[in-house]
Amino acid sequence: MSEVRDEVEALARRAKRAARSLAAAPTAKKDAVLRRVAAALRAPESEDVLRANEEDVAAGADLSPALRDRLKLDRARLDGVARALDEIVELPDPVGQVVHSHTLDNGLEVQRVRAPLGLVGIIYESRPNVTVDAAALCFKAGNACLLRGGKEAFRTNTALATVFAAALEAEGLDPASVSLIPTLDREATRAMIELDGIVDVIIPRGGEGLIRFVAENARVPVIRHYKGVCHVYVDRDADLDKALAIAMNAKVQRPGVCNSMETLLVDAAVADAFLPKVAAAMREAGVELRADERARATIEATPATDADWDEEYLDLVLTVGVVDGVDAAMDHIARHGSLHTEAIVTEDHDRAERFLREVDASCVLVNASTRFNDGGQLGLGAEVGISTTKLHAYGPMGLGELCTTRWIGRGAGQVRA
Amino acid sequence: MSEVRDEVEALARRAKRAARSLAAAPTAKKDAVLRRVAAALRAPESEDVLRANEEDVAAGADLSPALRDRLKLDRARLDGVARALDEIVELPDPVGQVVHSHTLDNGLEVQRVRAPLGLVGIIYESRPNVTVDAAALCFKAGNACLLRGGKEAFRTNTALATVFAAALEAEGLDPASVSLIPTLDREATRAMIELDGIVDVIIPRGGEGLIRFVAENARVPVIRHYKGVCHVYVDRDADLDKALAIAMNAKVQRPGVCNSMETLLVDAAVADAFLPKVAAAMREAGVELRADERARATIEATPATDADWDEEYLDLVLTVGVVDGVDAAMDHIARHGSLHTEAIVTEDHDRAERFLREVDASCVLVNASTRFNDGGQLGLGAEVGISTTKLHAYGPMGLGELCTTRWIGRGAGQVRA
């Protein structure tokens, strides 16, 4: 065992002990910690965090402008993080929520109740706000967390973890409840994902490379969120005005997120009527179009390559294809979809219901934008990500999904016959 | 890639294709298949299965009597398997069950519905009835399954898989929905658990060695059920008659199962009053007692070794310890428990509720036998096992736990603002 491994294991064991006491912490106590963190992030208390962030940004001179922008915290962004904490305080505590209850014939009263998972490991890349968001969600759900942030944000993350530790101590809770890996050594990530029996689950947040590395090397269960290659299929019985509004919203309202549309599939029966309109609107919004041969019979676009159909652009780029009806659309989605979000636009009830039933994705929509696959929109509140793993959580992971359920029974001496 | 690996992958891909069509199969069709299997297992149609089993038993002359007994099928056992199928037919179909629904302010109607996991891999040891039980539960939940049984039962399992395939074909469903790995090559197990993206989850059923091998080598998510080291804690405010009945039931009603008691913890305040009674009753029932020093001040027993406290005996053996109150009991359980089933016997409300809240196990009981942690008892119906993994399913895995949930939304053109 290397020193780094020993250090990570010792840290994880302390966090796991903290998890045990946290599981029984009252809601008011947890909310008081979150309120303290929010207050500490608001001016003027957050000078330390901003100073640490300036050092990170200065040290990251060779990062791309996009990465530097994700790394940067300013007063306005910190206020945003504090507001997110306020919202988490307002969410109901999931721990102890009864999801099912019944009484056996012999009088034993059983309930299935939500309970914390234990120790949640979060591995993420450059955005330092994840340190607070993810830790706060884990914490409200009664979990301790072990955080492994990106190296570019190390000083910022350390300052943010210090804020959390101070708030925990002020409320008499174990500061190890929110533990940040205190080294940049890459061995630490590998050590963390091998701590089966100590870390209960790993949630990687970041690019496909990170997630694949974690999934392939972890001994601990992993909840993965690979890419979102989301489709909108415009059926022959679509209301084409709705289809246009949905396609535009799904592509351009926020192209950099995983629930935005990457591929538009159009039924051949309405291709001539719909494609010129949508192509013009997309172009006006600055969207680059790549299309198959059948679509290019009607609109001008770059020929789509084989790779385009599997690409998560996260940008103002759209692949457009023409298909022969809903079966061909569903076949295409089964081949190229990423189990994330899929939508059909149609006024035909039977086809809509077939699409809902037969398409496999964490969220399937009829006549609505793919952008609705989001914890806030679906009523879960804040989320730590959108899972495309079917085990445990499929779709947005909110407070409820950061819990397990267990059974409790209150009896009067019952035994089995 | 070896030939065996290619063969397993090709089989898994066929099963995965079957899973896609199975996900949308109507309940009546699935039940018809299960009824056909049940009919084929009843006399005189099941001659082929019994003959294959006789060959397996004859070939297993060097197996222990216990293993040979688990391997053996006779007319009565096959009738039992057929009755289990009848019960699965009666269970409600989980696919499409709505677990949550609400309407957004903009009118979008969203629901969270149960959906099949996809392709479930089951790896199990000698008992051939698992081939039918597990396959039937997976199938009713809309999943295809890939089965890897023990080598001792290979002929029996092959005959049973043939029965399933015939029933599937007779109902026009893909016979690959229930696929048995058709080789004894050990490489096949490793190949199966590495098929990430094809197999959706692996459920190992068997000894700790098997489960550990699978957990450490799988790329596919695994739902583990390690051992059940279940405790009953008799508190100072216990009704000692109830405590005696519960302890006896938990230990002797069926000692070979995972939810039976392995360790009895007694509060020092009632040790003198309770231990002699329970020791006499246990001895009368043929239970061997191993006890700590404090218990041996009151009763005769073999000294318990350090290893005894972590042992799943699955036999008429019991470890007995004396502790100083509920905190010491909970500390002991946190150290030696297996996250399976834990019980307290007490008339004190506050201590009961603390135990329920603070003890981490898939099922925690007050004044009731540990034997109630069972899918049938808890109202889930038949189960494929009791999970001690917190991810996805914690406790008995019935039809609902063989599903995921996904979101569906029915709109009228909604887009995000």
Task: Return d(Cα B308, Cα A31) in angstroms, integer.
Answer: 42
CA-angle at B284, arms to B282 and B287, nearest 5°: 45
Contact list, B200 vs chain A (CB under 8 Å): 390-391
- Rounded to the nearest 5 percent, the helix, strand and coil shares of chain A are 45, 20, 35
Q: Which of A237, A251, A203, A255 is nearest to A347 (CA)?
A: A237
Query: Tell me, what's the pLDDT at A211?
Result: 87
DSSP conformation class of A23: T
Q: Please tell me which residue of chain B has the smallest CA distance to A356.
A: B408
Contact list, A213 vs chain B (CB under 8 Å): none
Task: Return d(Cα B134, Cα B139) in angstroms, integer.
Answer: 8
Query: Tell me, what's the pLDDT at A207?
Result: 81
Domains annotated for chain A, with CATH where assigned, are 3-223+397-409 (3.40.605.10), 230-372 (3.40.309.10)
Query: Tell me, what's the pLDDT at A313?
Result: 92
From B216, B395, B416, residue closest to A406, measured CB to CB: B395
Cβ atoms of B262 and B319 within 8 Å: the answer is: yes
Cβ atoms of A301 and A295 within 8 Å: the answer is: yes
Q: Which of A323, A338, A400 is nearest to A140 (CA)?
A: A400
Contact B104 A361 (CB under 8 A): no
Extract the tokens encoding B333.
Answer: 């359980």
Contact B415 A356 (CB under 8 A): no
> How many distinct helices (H) and strands (E) make up chain A?
14, 16
The neighbouring-strand residues paired with B111 are B101, B408
Task: Return d(Cα A244, Cα A233) in angstroms, integer.
Answer: 11
Contact list, B368 vs chain A (CB under 8 Å): 108, 409-411, 413-415
pLDDT in tens, chain B (417 residues): 589 999 999 999 999 999 988 998 999 999 999 999 999 999 788 999 999 999 999 999 898 888 888 899 999 999 999 999 999 999 999 999 999 999 999 999 999 999 999 999 999 987 888 889 999 999 999 999 999 999 999 999 999 999 999 999 999 999 999 999 999 998 999 999 999 889 999 999 888 888 889 988 898 888 887 789 999 999 999 999 999 999 999 999 999 889 999 999 999 999 999 999 999 999 999 999 999 999 999 999 999 999 999 999 999 999 999 999 999 999 999 999 999 999 999 999 999 999 999 999 999 999 999 999 999 999 898 899 899 989 999 999 999 999 999 999 999 999 998
Contact A391 B390 (CB under 8 A): no
Contact list, B389 vs chain A (CB under 8 Å): 221
Strand order in the sheet with A317-323: A302-303, A288-291, A317-323, A261-267, A230-234, A341-345, A363-368, B403-414, B109-116, B98-103
From B96, B379, B391, residue closest to A102, measured CB to CB: B379
Cβ atoms of B106 and B414 within 8 Å: the answer is: yes
Q: Return the beta strands (E) in B186-270 as ranges.
A: 201-205, 230-234, 261-267
Q: What is the pLDDT of residues A76-134, one digit of tens each?
A: 999 999 999 999 999 999 999 999 999 999 999 999 999 999 999 999 987 888 899 99
φ/ψ bin of A172: left (φ > 0), alpha (ψ from -120 to 50), beta (otherwise)? left
- Rounded to the nearest 5 percent, the helix, strand and coil shares of chain B are 45, 20, 35
Query: SS3 of B113, please?
Result: strand
Contact B367 A221 (CB under 8 A): no
Q: Which of B385, B383, B334 is nearest to B94 (CA)?
A: B383
Token pair 């295809």 in the structure block, residue: B144
Largest interatomic CA distance in chain B: 77
DSSP conformation class of A215: H
Q: Which residues contact A294 (CB under 8 A, 6 or more apart)?
A: A268, A271, A321, A322
Q: Which residues contact B24 (CB under 8 A, 6 or more apart)?
A: A357, A358
- Count how many residues are written for chain A: 417
Residue among A391, A397, A410 with most chain B CBs within 10 A, to mutate: A391
Extract the tokens encoding B299.
Answer: 């009763």
Q: Please tell me which residue of chain B has the smallest CA distance to A218.
A: B219
Query: Tell me, what's the pLDDT at A1?
Result: 56
Where are the alpha helices (H) located in A141-267, listed in sequence order? 154-170, 187-193, 208-217, 240-252
From B239, B358, B412, residue closest to A367, measured CB to CB: B412
Burial (0-12, 13-18, 19+ Cβ within 10 Å), A341: buried
Task: Give how far A50 is from chain B: nearest CA, Å.
Answer: 32
- C-alpha distance from residue A367 to each of A339, A342, A372, A396, B195 (Å): 19, 11, 11, 20, 35
Task: Give how far B379 is from chain A: nearest CA, Å.
Answer: 8
- Count how many residues are written for chain B: 417
Task: Give how far A204 is from chain B: nearest CA, Å.
Answer: 15
Query: Tell me, what's the pLDDT at B55?
Result: 96
The DSSP element (H or E) to which A136 belongs, if any, is helix A129-140
How high is the mean pLDDT in each 10-residue block of chain A (417 residues)?
A: 90 96 94 97 91 95 87 93 96 96 95 97 88 95 96 95 96 97 93 93 88 88 88 98 98 93 98 98 98 98 97 95 98 95 98 95 98 93 90 94 97 96
Contact list, A350 vs chain B (CB under 8 Å): none
Query: SS3 of A144, please?
Result: strand
Q: Which residues contact B286 (CB under 8 A, 6 or more apart)?
A: B252, B316
